[in-house]
Amino acid sequence: MDRSVEPEPGAGPGGHATAPTRASTLRIATAGSVDDGKSTLIGRLLLDSKQVFADQLRHVEEASRRRGDGYVDLALLTDGLRAEREQGITIDVAYRYFATPRRRFIVADTPGHARYTRNMVTGASTADVSLILLDARKGVVEQTKRHAFVSALVGVRHLVICVNKLDLVDWSERVFDEIVSDFGDFAAKLELGEVTFIPISALHGDNVVERSGNTPWYDGPPLLYHLEHLHVASDRNLVDCRFPVQWVIRPLDDEHSGYRGYAGQVASGVFRAGDEVVVLPSGERTRIAGIDGPEGELEEAFPPMSVALRLADDVDVSRGDVICRPDNRPTRARDIEAMVCWMSERPLRPGQRLHLKHTTRWTQVTVEDVRYRVDVETLHRDRGADRLELNDIGRVHLRTSSLLLVDDYRRNRQMGSFILVDEATNDTVAAGMISAIVTGDGAREAGRSPNVVWQPSAIERPERWRALGACGATVWLTGLPASGKSTIGAALERALVERGAHAYMLDGDNLRHGLNGNLGFSAEDRSENIRRTAEVARLFADAGSIAIVTLVSPYRSDRERARELHARDGLEFVEVHVDTPLEECERRDPKGLYARARRGELTGMTGVDDPYEPPEQPDLTIAGGEPGEAVARILEELERRGIVAP
């Protein structure tokens, strides 16, 4: 569990002073089955963190007495609708705000009933963490799986599973461990990040704000401490600079004569005065002359700041345009594939026409096809489905009437999401997450160059591989600098060649002598370095060679995209984490980089002043000790997969 501390307001990604931001605000979506205690837990958090006024508490006490509860029902602090109080369930998404000296919190109390899955999507779509409650007596139920799936679908990177009502099972450690195991089996099928389990009693406050003596077998922190120290700053996409223009500011008064600013919210990336940018879809290039915030001029802007950009040149910019970096642009698309949660009583069917809102742009859209519907309990894809009913989640093909500028949702939540609106009623009927662009050759991931067609070889892969007597694959070694990746990679290359296999090592430093020679070590350049290397490795693998990639590749999302690139082409990808402790890497320091970084002569050094995100589920984890032992283990994995012969 990451307990690192986020930067205080006033410190931006580049370390410069900026206007106060929401960097220390945590957005939480609560979920769980009906009567699992979500509203009670939020009420307990509010009460025990001293966020409830005395008159509010007296009102809740009186309401509890009138209902004959026999105890103070803290759920009444959040169940605001009369129907909710009468039925004892949450129907609408209720937002609550509270703060501790450590952090500010925005809590979305979402409904637990399956009928209100759409409300769960609404609450989780902007959340940093999903807090899923389950009843210790019932264990992992269908709604637990539904809410975990929705959290993974909308890109929530942190899950906290609160096993509630443990007091009703005598604080059984065995019950808690069984629930952890059952949920872990299901979660393994999802693309989830950090998952934390906490045993609690929301009614009595055990392990909510203070550690409970009733769970001596639990050595983790209480819930509030975990939420206060949860590190989410690195979840933001600071690589892909995207600024959808919401409004053009041109004051008419004499004092601001000649001022022209382009207002909006930074979707991703970091913008600084002097940066070269391009305005899409026109393609006009210019530079940022200045950045204005609510309290004056800023040095930089990053998500989720709302600012106005001033440009150096008089270019044509209007609402719906996107300002980005010239060498890192979103994809132009009219045909997209997306996962959608349908929110209307009227089913979604092919041929339907709707309005689509993407960032600050509106367009009409036609539903071309329903690819499949997902059974959220089993995760089975029903490819025979021809419609989506209320609260169904499925993949659809949409065609827009005008151009969209999009990113894959998994990479960029803001540029990859949209809503669908009924043309007749103006009701929001769906929330969508873009997963692919559709071309004449089928679906492809967002992020490729437009107006190009893949030229197929005259030789099919099976024929090529049979002629070579080889199978292609990529072995991707990642780890801290000086962890031993290159040494292991070179030894693996020799071992494979001696076996008669086609193998070639793509070392990070070697690639920067040519192919990636124009890249630096910023977050953007590191990401592009990985992208180019992954593309080359894919070509090697397709040709029947085993590409051995030895790169620090510090960011988890970049490595995941490399894996996905191979998976789409049906190629084997073996991620090997060379897990050498930082202290040992610094002791080795063959290039003297750690020493220079510690002296302040070098910035952006992974492991010193730049983060390394270790793989969560690598195919193989090895220590960077004896290269021969590491090579033997990698060869065993390649043999197991049938890539090389035993």
Rg (CA), the chain: 26
Q: Omega of the bond prior to 326 within 30 degrees of 0, cis?
A: no
Which phi and psi angles does 214 have, rounded to 5°?
-80, -10
> Which strand ranges, in their side-by-side order, compose the sheet holding 620-622?
503-507, 546-550, 473-478, 572-578, 620-622
Per the CB < 8 A criterion, the answer to whether 92 and 81 are in contact is: yes
DSSP secondary structure code for residue 81 in this structure: S
Three-state secondary structure call for residue 132: strand
User: Among 377, 385, 384, 392, which residue's Cα sits nearest to residue 344?
Assistant: 392
Sole residue written with tokens 């990177």: 157
- DSSP letter for each residue of 410-463: TT-TTTTEEEEE-TTT--EEEEEEEEEEEETTEEE-TTSPSS------SS-HHH
Per the CB < 8 A criterion, the answer to whether 343 and 119 are in contact is: no
Which phi and psi angles does 633 have, rounded to 5°?
-70, -40
pLDDT attached to residue 456: 65
Enter the CATH code of domain 24-235.
3.40.50.300
Fold of 461-640: Rossmann fold (3.40.50)
pLDDT attached to residue 14: 46
- For 26-63, the pLDDT digits (tens) are 889 888 776 777 777 887 777 766 666 565 666 665 66
Q: Cα separation of 211 and 215, whole Å?
A: 8
Which residue spans within 457-525 are E strands per DSSP? 473-478, 503-507
User: Which residues of the chain, if any, have pLDDT below 70?
Assistant: 1-23, 34, 48-94, 111-118, 234, 254, 439-456, 523-524, 624-625
Fold of 331-448: Elongation Factor Tu (Ef-tu); domain 3 (2.40.30)
Which residue spans within 269-321 are E strands per DSSP? 271-272, 276-280, 284-293, 296-298, 300-301, 306-311
User: Among 189, 193, 187, 198, which residue's Cα sits nearest to residue 158?
Assistant: 193
Enter the CATH code of domain 242-324.
2.40.30.10
The residue from 201, 212, 344, 553 that is catalytic is: 553
Q: Domain map of the chain by residue range? A: 24-235, 242-324, 331-448, 461-640
Which contacts (CB < 8 Å, 24+ apart) does range 561-565 have?
561/411, 561/530, 561/531, 561/534, 562/474, 562/476, 562/530, 562/531, 562/533, 562/534, 562/537, 563/476, 564/445, 565/445, 565/534, 565/535, 565/538
DSSP secondary structure code for residue 395 in this structure: E
Active site residue 417: no
Global pTM? 0.60
Residue 251: C-alpha distances to residues 248, 259, 360, 393 (Å):
10, 7, 21, 45
pLDDT attached to residue 68: 58
Q: Cα separation of 554 and 559, whole Å?
A: 8
Identical fold at 24-235 and 461-640? yes
pLDDT attached to residue 355: 95
pLDDT attached to residue 624: 66
